[in-house]
Amino acid sequence: MSTLGIIGGLGPMATAYFMQRLTQMSDAKTDQEHMDIFVCSRPSIPDRTQYILGKSDKSPVPEMVWAGRKLKQMGADIIAIPCITAHYFHDELEKQIGIPIINAIVETAQCIEQEKIERVGLLATDGTIQSGLFQRELKRHNVQSILPSADRQREIMRIIYEEVKANKTVDMACFQNVSDELFQQGAQVILLGCTELSLVRRDFALSPGYLDVMDVLARKAVQCCNHVRKEYNRLMR
């Protein structure tokens, strides 16, 4: 089996949950049948959204490259980054580190296309939204992206940064209001396009109609390094 490396800490709880999903999705019956994983958790890596939006001159790339090279030295064959905004730097990181990095954006667009979904609502950081990461890739698969209004986007950023990352209780009424706006605009599915929002799905019973991008990333990582449990062959419910 291939060995997985994880550039983690972006944020720390999302990385811990990613590890949990890898374990749950692996078709393993003993310790020895699980995949080998190296983790480099670096919460000190500069904020990705702040840099992408030009609000900080501290690039996260050098420290992410450092982490990736450490994982490569340890024996990682492939890397996953459980931070969707960090995928803005995917090609640059892959080139400098020198081993494949799973692209959660591409994998998600392929999953959406396979499910024959045409309109997708997107919940993500300002960095992910304004960079157009998802929008461009979804368009390549003939999928329309539906974005929150400016006011609702501010609420999602508050949930991500001031609640989940700060280990505070999530305002689920606010989260539901944002989701309702996207569904009312015609979204067939809402993408949880930030790994902090994956923790909302973990902790609260969401209605059908959400696709967690962390699950897409975790499933692909397991497929690359092990065997996926059959119940995870499809992620849409």
Run of H or E residues at 192: strand 189-192
Hey, which residues does 119 pair with through a beta bridge? Answer: 144
Q: In what order do the strands lie in the sheet with 37-41?
A: 37-41, 4-8, 78-80
> Mind telling me the catalytic residues?
83, 194
> What are the structural domains of the chain?
4-103+216-232 (3.40.50.1860), 105-213 (3.40.50.1860)
- Write the pLDDT tens digit of every residue in 167-226: 999 999 999 999 999 999 999 999 999 999 999 999 998 999 999 999 999 999 999 999
Per-residue confidence band for 237, with pLDDT thresholds at 50, 70 and 90: low
**Predicted model pTM:** 0.96
> What pLDDT, in 10s, does the model give residues 3-32?
999 999 999 999 999 999 999 999 999 999
pLDDT at position 184 is 97
